[in-house]
Structure formats: structure tokens, C-alpha cells
């Protein structure tokens, strides 16, 4: 059922019967059925004769028959149980045309059997009930009712609800309503790294789906060209030195502050926290141009296919260096050397299928003894490691028949922005047994077989595994929307991963649309749900703060003012600098206390402690009020300060309420509580004259209070 406002009633049903504003516990027509029951049954809440209740069981030659009066478009079915705990369907589901209906279950044997009658299901599992699908003109047997819309019926419905164009419910033309500014801001906290007011206004004007479509067409904001630009600068201005790792972050910040591909940049950061590499274990060219190219590779693949992401991640020289399958050699004849198994293990555990077999909804499958079922064992790791042998630096100059270039590359051979190549002499050519019974033939049985054939088949073996859809869907939902998605949410997205509506598996455009336009992502009721949302990780809070307000350059050139300086490490996080391949935090981390008692995970809480909490707020607050980067003794100012012209202008007019509303929209997507609002009013009224007469300083002090609030730290 689609209940976006959490009132217990379907929006689709309310529109169809013009029943907006009804109380779920009320009984508008006095027929003895609550409005909620009428909604579940698909009956008219204002017509006492429109009710479900005419039914009876009777014996039939083929079994036990249940006769009833159906509601048009509603689904009905029988269930049976032997213990009143475990139930299963006992008769084929009926989709009623209205009028008399009949369901027949098998005649019970000697064992006592219980039967029950069910009304109103979601046969295709897309989150829209069968009755709602009938009202909408959708197909209740398919989550892709239209081949013209990719992303599933739920995303299609959210598109219509949150756009101004008309759509049809129960034969009526219904005008959609674009998002409010608060709703648009909430959407951007999920879909983008920045939330400037003009971006929020654009989403409110365009609607969610149109904005997503527009983002698909934005140019890619790559960072490697910026790194090459730094090499040019050093050659011209400081030929004795070269750029170093921080210049990669400079290039990234420049894209964050100037590029228009907001959704792609957000998705690339999310993918980078799944397919992790880190400059904490790399240096030189790998950390500079290599990691810049790795990020650009994620950008380029963000709106492509998940298989290409897995393939390109696996072949990237930075990943090869980080997880040690670069120059991975086959076993020697003496049995004293064996292939490195590091990447083979992590590509399964972290990048594709996880440790345990999953149901389509992301929950773990269990064997007959109630134990989780592992997805792979040591033999699988060994065989995948044999697949990933013989790969080293790529580039046009490489001669893969020259083993010297594989074993003893020169400095010029270290090419970090080209995929790795295969050296046949160092690749294991024997038979390899992979997952789910897949066998890669020995090269002696297929003389034309190449190392890349092994590689492509191994990628297919992982990509086609039924775990990959729910595994990746769950992690992307955690990065974009909420730490604890329902199994139904995971399954809806996972089904889109499996089939975008046109038979394509792993279509990232459809997957991201399904994530962002799901009812769990868009429902305003999430603001009142204590289990919804997620803690914003500290570095992305910093990005949000920096990009939400314009800043001015007081002196010098742009490159010396990038807001990425040493103290950020004290927050426990810096972009692409995690301490291990497991990212900064684990997706299943459970914070102690109330969240553990409620069986909730909170990944970002793993790096949240007294030290990082205090440091984060100190950095945020001091940078906001006094600026950041280098201090210039000549001008007595910071080299980089926030420009709070719009905020200061509101205070210049004594419009404290206007400032509070603006900060609520930009920073807290409309969730600022009344006690926080009152605190802002009280603080403003209590400012001494030297602050109150400085509108910019007063604005920065008030903003500091907002960024200290839980409303800013948590997205709903």
C-alpha cells in the first residue's frame, strides 16, 4: 500500500474515492468497517453498501470452496496451515472483476488443517497493492507495467505524484504536485553532495524524475584533467617539484564547487565506499593520477551497467596495486609459489555477493538447521585467484610477450590511467571451478582461449549470481537514503537490478531511480520515524557545509584555498583515505545502546566518538566563523572565508524568521525542531552589540548552532 504521509490510508485509494482527510480509525459511512478496513478492502468509505462481507465456505467435489462478492481490481486468495504459525497459499489467487467469486482449496486429509481468507495483496512485490495497481491502470503481475519507463512502477508512481503533469487514477485526471522546498532539499541530501538554494529550487520546479533525467545528461566532471593541469603548473612555475596527493583533492573540490553533474558525483562517492581503494596504502603516481583516474572511472560508469563497474574496478591498476593482484603470478611447478588470494577474496566478500546466500529481499538464507549459508569457500577463493593471474600495467607500449615488462617494469611502465593487461605466460591456464557449478575449461582443451576469456567469465559468474542484486542494492540504499531499509525496499530495488523492464540486468540508471523514487525514500512520514534516515558521515557534512554557502577569496589564487586541510583527518574521515578496504565503517555496524536494543545498524556511528564529535564541530564552527586554509599575516585574515551575503542581508532587515527558514531548508530539509528555532531566536536577541551590528558574524554564529544540531547531523 502506498501511504506516504503515514496516516494509515493509501493515497491512491483516497484520491479514487475523494477521501482525503479521513481518519483511519473512523467510519465515514457507518457500516461497521473502519476507514482503514475499507481502504484495505478497496471499498467506498462513503457507501454503506460497498463492503466486503458476503461470503461462505462450502464443500465442492474438487475440495473446499469459498464463495464471496469481490471488489473490482482486488486480489483474493486462500491460505492453509497445520500449526497456525506457518501459512502457505492454498488456491490460485483471484483478481476480481467485481461480483461473485469462488476460490477452491484442496480437500484436507486426515491431518487437521486450518484455512484463512486473505484480501488485498501485492502480487508483483513492487510496493503498490493489487487494488491500487488496478486504479492506476498498472499490471499487478509485473513491476514494470510500462516499457517506456525504466525503474519500476513504484518510481513511476512517485514521478507522477511529485510532478505537475496530470496522471490518471480510476479514470480521473489527477494533477500531481511538485515537491515543496523542504521535500526538494530532503531529496538532494540523498541525491547530491551539495544543497545550494538554487539547486533546491530547481528540483522543486522540475520534479524529482525530470531532475534525475536532466542529471543523466549532464557532462562528466572528471578530476584527472585537473591533476594534469597541476603537472603543467609545476613545470612552468616550480620545475624542481611535482604535484602530490593533495592536488587530487584540489581537483575534486573544484568539480564539487563548479560542475553540474550532482547526481553522478554523489553516486561515484557512494561507489567509492563500496569498491574501496585508499591513498593511505598508496603513494606517488598511484595516489595522485591513479586514484584520480579510478574516481573518474567510477564517474564514467555511474550511469552505465553494474557489470562494467565490477569489470573496470577489477582491471584498474590502482585496485591491482591496492589488493595485490597486480603482477599476480601463477603457481610454479615446484609448488613453492601460489597466486595471491587477496583480491579474489574481497571481490566476492565486498564487491559483489557477500559472505552469505541472500534472499531477494537481502535477508540471509538459512539451511535446515537454521545456519547461514556461505556463498563461497576456500576452494572458490583459490580458483578465483588463479583467474586473476598474469595481469600488470597496461598501455599501448606494453608487449605482453615480454616477461621482463611484467616482472621488472621500468619507471615509464607504471601507467596508472589505463586498464591492466594480461601476460599469457604468467596466467594459470588450468581448469577452474567457480561458483554455482561454473567450470572454466583448461586452455589445452580450448586452444584459442585467452586470459581475458577467463577474466570475463569470472566477472559474469559474480554478476549473474542472485546475491549481487540485493547485495549492491542494500549498500547503495544505505549510502543514499537510510541505514536500515526494509526488506521490501531492498527487494524492490533488487528486482530492478535484475531486470530494468527491458530485460537488462544491472542498469544503474534504473537502479538509482528505483532507490530515489521509492516510497521509503520519498514518504514525508519518514521525518517522524525514529528508525528512518542515517547519520551523515563527517566528511560529507563538511562538503555539505562548504557547498551550501558561497565563499570568497581574500587573497592569492584558488588552488591555495581548497577546503581540504590537515585537521580534517581528526574527524575520522577524509575522501578516499580509509584505513582498509572495509571503508571507514562497516555496513552492518551496530552502535551500543538504544540502537543495539532495537536491532538497528548505524554504519557511520563506527567513527563517531567523543573525540571525533568534538573535533568535527570545532572544525566546522571555527571555519564557518573565521575561515580556513592559510592565515595571511599581511592582511590579518584567513585565505578562504564563507561569503554569507544572503544570510547577512536577512539579518540586516532584522528578518530572523526568514534566516531560520532559509537555514532549515538548506541544511536540515525542513526538519528543524521548534526548540532549535526558539534557541536561534533567543541567541540572536541576546547577541552583544558588536556581534549584532556585524550581520555576517551574527549569521555565521547562528549557522554554527544549526550545524551543531541533530537535525543537520541526521538525514531522514
The string of pLDDT tens digits covering residues 339-356 is 999 999 999 999 999 999
pTM of the model: 0.93
Give the 3-state secondary structure of residue 315: helix
Average pLDDT over residues 277-282: 93
Give the 3-state secondary structure of residue 568: helix
Say which DSSP state 42 is in: T
What local confidence, expressed as pLDDT, does residue 629 receive? Answer: 56
* Cα four-point dihedral sign 540, 545, 547, 551: negative
d(CA 638, CA 489): 47
| Top-confidence residue, 89 or 430 | 430
| Top-confidence residue, 565 or 424 | 424
The pLDDT tens digits of the residues spanning 75-88 come to 998 888 988 899 98
- Assess whether pLDDT exceeds 50 at residue 559: no
Average pLDDT over residues 271-294: 93
- For residue 102, the surrounding DSSP H or E stretch is strand 99-105
- Assess whether pLDDT exceeds 70 at residue 284: yes
- Assess whether pLDDT exceeds 90 at residue 61: no
Q: What is the DSSP string of 258-320?
A: H-S-HHHHHHHHHHHTTS---GGG--HHIIIIIHHHHHHHHHHHTTSBHHHHHHHHHH-HHHH
Average pLDDT score over the chain: 91
What local confidence, expressed as pLDDT, does residue 566 receive? Answer: 58
- Assess whether pLDDT exceeds 50 at residue 102: yes
d(CA 252, CA 268): 12
97 Cα distance to chain centroid: 39
The pLDDT tens digits of the residues spanning 134-193 come to 999 999 999 998 778 889 999 999 999 898 778 899 888 888 888 999 999 999 999 999
Beta-sheet pairing, 172-175 with 551-553: unpaired
Q: What is the DSSP string of 468-480?
A: HHHHHHHHHHHHH
The pLDDT tens digits of the residues spanning 521-540 come to 999 888 788 889 999 999 88
What local confidence, expressed as pLDDT, does residue 92 receive? Answer: 83
148 Cα distance to chain centroid: 24
What local confidence, expressed as pLDDT, does residue 643 receive? Answer: 78
| Top-confidence residue, 589 or 553 | 589
What local confidence, expressed as pLDDT, does residue 639 receive? Answer: 53
231 Cα distance to chain centroid: 35
* Position 258 confidence tier, pLDDT thresholds 50, 70, 90: confident
Amino acid at each position: 500500500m502506498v501511504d506516504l504521509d503515514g496516516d494509515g490510508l493509501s493515497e491512491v485509494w483516497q484520491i479514487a474515492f475523494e477521501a482525503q482527510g479521513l481518519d483511519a480509525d473512523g467510519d465515514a459511512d457507518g457500516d461497521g468497517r473502519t476507514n482503514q478496513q475499507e481502504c484495505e478492502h478497496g471499498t467506498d468509505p462513503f457507501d454503506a453498501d460497498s463492503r466486503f462481507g458476503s461470503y461462505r465456505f462450502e464443500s465442492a467435489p474438487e475440495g473446499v470452496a469459498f464463495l464471496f462478492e469481490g471488489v473490482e481490481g482486488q486480489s483474493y486468495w486462500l491460505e492453509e496451515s497445520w500449526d497456525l504459525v506457518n501459512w502457505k497459499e492454498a488456491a490460485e489467487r483471484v483478481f476480481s472483476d467485481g461480483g461473485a467469486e469462488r476460490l477452491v482449496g484442496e480437500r484436507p486429509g486426515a491431518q487437521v488443517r486450518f484455512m484463512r481468507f486473505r484480501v488485498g495483496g501485492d502480487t508483483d512485490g513492487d510496493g503498490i497493492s493489487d487494488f491500487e495497481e488496478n486504479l492506476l491502470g498498472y499490471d499487478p503481475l509485473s513491476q514494470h507495467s510500462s516499457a517506456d519507463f525504466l525503474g519500476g512502477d513504484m518510481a513511476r508512481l512517485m514521478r507522477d505524484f511529485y510532478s505537475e503533469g496530470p496522471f490518471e487514477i480510476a479514470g480521473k485526471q489527477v494533477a500531481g504536485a511538485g515537491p515543496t522546498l523542504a521535500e526538494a532539499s530532503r531529496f538532494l541530501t540523498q541525491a547530491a553532495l551539495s544543497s545550494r538554494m538554487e539547486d533546491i529550487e530547481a528540483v522543486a520546479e522540475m520534479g524529482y524524475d525530470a531532475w534525475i533525467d536532466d542529471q543523466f545528461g549532464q557532462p562528466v566532471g572528471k578530476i584527472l584533467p585537473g591533476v594534469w593541469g597541476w603537472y603543467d603548473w609545476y613545470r612552468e612555475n616550480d620545475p624542481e617539484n611535482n604535484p602530490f596527493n593533495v592536488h587530487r583533492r584540489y581537483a575534486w573540490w573544484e568539480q564539487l564547487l563548479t560542475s553540474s553533474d550532482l547526481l553522478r558525483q554523489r553516486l561515484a562517492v557512494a561507489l567509492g565506499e563500496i569498491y574501496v581503494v585508499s591513498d593511505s596504502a598508496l603513494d606517488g603516481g598511484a595516489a595522485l593520477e591513479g586514484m584520480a583516474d579510478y574516481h573518474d572511472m567510477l564517474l564514467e560508469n555511474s550511469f552505465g551497467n553494474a557489470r562494467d563497474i565490477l569489470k573496470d574496478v577489477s582491471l584498474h591498476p590502482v585496485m591491482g596495486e591496492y589488493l595485490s593482484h597486480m603482477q599476480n603470478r601463477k603457481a610454479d611447478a615446484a609448488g613453492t609459489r601460489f597466486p595471491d588470494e587477496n583480491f579474489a577474496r574481497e571481490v566476492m566478500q565486498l564487491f559483489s555477493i557477500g559472505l552469505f546466500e541472500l534472499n531477494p529481499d537481502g535477508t540471509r538464507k538459512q539451511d535446515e538447521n537454521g545456519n547461514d549459508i556461505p556463498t563461497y569457500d576456500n576452494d572458490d577463493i583459490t580458483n578465483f585467484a588463479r583467474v586473476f593471474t598474469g595481469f600488470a600495467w597496461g598501455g599501448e607500449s606494453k608487449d605482453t610477450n615480454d616477461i621482463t615488462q611484467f616482472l621488472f617494469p621500468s619507471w615509464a611502465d607504471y601507467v596508472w590511467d589505463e586498464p591492466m593487461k594480461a601476460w599469457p605466460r604468467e596466467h594459470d591456464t588450468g581448469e577452474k571451478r567457480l561458483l554455482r557449478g561454473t567450470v572454466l575449461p583448461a586452455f589445452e582443451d580450448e586452444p584459442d582461449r585467452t586470459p581475458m576469456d577467463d577474466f570475463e567469465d569470472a566477472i559474469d559468474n559474480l554478476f549473474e549470481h542472485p546475491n549481487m542484486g540485493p547485495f549492491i542494492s542494500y549498500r547503495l540504499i544505505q549510502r543514499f537514503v537510510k541505514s536500515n531499509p526494509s526488506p521490501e525496499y531492498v527487494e524492490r530495488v533488487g528486482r530492478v537490478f535484475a531486470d530494468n523492464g527491458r530485460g537488462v540486468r544491472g542498469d544503474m540508471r534504473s537502479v538509482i531511480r528505483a532507490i530515489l523514487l521509492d516510497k521509503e525514500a520519498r514518504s514525508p512520514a519518514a521525518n517522524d520515524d525514529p528508525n528512518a534516515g542515517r547519520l551523515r558521515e563527517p566528511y560529507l557534512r563538511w562538503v555539505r557545509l562548504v557547498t551550501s554557502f558561497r565563499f570568497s577569496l581574500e587573497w592569492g589564487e584558488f588552488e591555495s584555498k581548497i577546503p581540504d586541510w590537515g585537521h580534517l583527518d581528526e574527524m575520522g574521515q577524509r575522501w578516499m583515505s580509509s584505513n582498509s578496504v572495509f571503508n571507514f565503517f562497516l555496513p552492518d555496524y551496530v552502535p551500543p545502546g538504544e540502537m543495539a536494543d532495537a536491532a538497528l545498524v548505524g554504519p557511520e556511528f563506527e567513527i563517531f566518538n567523543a573525540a571525533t564529535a568534538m573535533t568535527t564541530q570545532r572544525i566546522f564552527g571555527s571555519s564557518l566563523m573565521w575561515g580556513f586554509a592559510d592565515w595571511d599575516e599581511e592582511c590579518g585574515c584567513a585565505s578562504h572565508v564563507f561569503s554569507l551575503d544572503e544570510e547577512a542581508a536577512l539579518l540586516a532587515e532584522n528578518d530572523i524568521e526568514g534566516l531560520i527558514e532559509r537555514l532549515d531548508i538548506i541544511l536540515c530539509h525542513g526538519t528543524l525542531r521548534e526548540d532549535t528555532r526558539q534557541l536561534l531566536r533567543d541567541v540572536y536577541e541576546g547577541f552583544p552589540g558588536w556581534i549584532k551590528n556585524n550581520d555576517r558574524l551574527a549569521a555565521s554564529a547562528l549557522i554554527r548552532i544549526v550545524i551543531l544540531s541533530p537535525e543537520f547531523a541526521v538525514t531522514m
